[in-house]
Amino acid sequence: MGFRDQGIEPAAGFAGDGFIVRPLVPTDVTLDYEAVMASREFLFHWEQDPPYPPEDFSVADNLGDLEKMDRAHREGSRYTYTVMNTAETEVLGCLYLLPNDDRMYLSAEVTSHDGTDLTTVDATISFWVRPSTWGAGFECVVLESVLDWLHRDWSLVQPVIITNEHLTHQIATIESLGVTRRFDFDRDRDMYTSHAYA
């Protein structure tokens, strides 16, 4: 159905400590492209549909992706946000919100750890930040701020953060905030099993 059909409208964004989160738009293409290419090795495993970005990935290819995400955001089916420095001169990462009935979950096999099932959540949130920022603890700062924002400015009841089993650094970051692994999901096309935390 998408978010809008469920009455869930996107929040505008927020300002964090040294960064901002706001909707990703096509005019961000150059800065976003640079961040994607700088994070290419990480995104190969994060994206779950490799190779992404491919070696010949171009600014024009990235623009096509951003236009699709912007259209989905405006239509209310999926919501995508950029993470930028406060001057908006550098993209530091990206944040994606999907409803639990999104097409990517239609063929997923869900295994619950505590009775929580994909059908009981109203949004899945995935994110990435540049690996070059990990050493300063930026990934944890962003995630903690995002979780506060979701509870403060959204009408979501039970969102979950998702990652996959290969991304041990991101798993450690998520678990350091005291959230619990609720369920896993698998799709035939994915390289790795994904974990959902709340």
Domain boundaries, the chain: 4-197
As given in the structure block, the two tokens for residue 151 are: 């509870």
What pLDDT is stored for residue 49 in this prediction? Answer: 79
Find how far residue 166's CA is from the centre of its chain.
Answer: 16
For residue 123, give the 3-state DSSP assignment: strand
pLDDT band at 106 (very low <50, low <70, confident <90, very high): confident
Output the average pLDDT for the chain.
96
What Rg do the C-alpha atoms of the chain give, in angstroms? 16
4-197 architecture in CATH?
3-Layer(aba) Sandwich (3.40)
d(CA 198, CA 158): 8
Identify whether the C-beta of residue 123 lies closer than 8 Å to the C-beta of residue 99.
yes
The proportion of the chain whose per-residue pLDDT surpasses 70, expressed as a percent, equals 100
Please, which pLDDT band fits residue 94 given cuts at 50, 70 and 90? very high
Whether the Cβ atoms of residue 20 and residue 86 lie closer than 8 Å to each other: yes
C-alpha 194: how far from chain center? 13
Identify the CA nearest to 1 among candidates 106, 80, 96, 94.
Answer: 106
Strands 159-164 and 123-129: parallel
Which residue in this structure is represented by tokens 């974990």?
Answer: 195
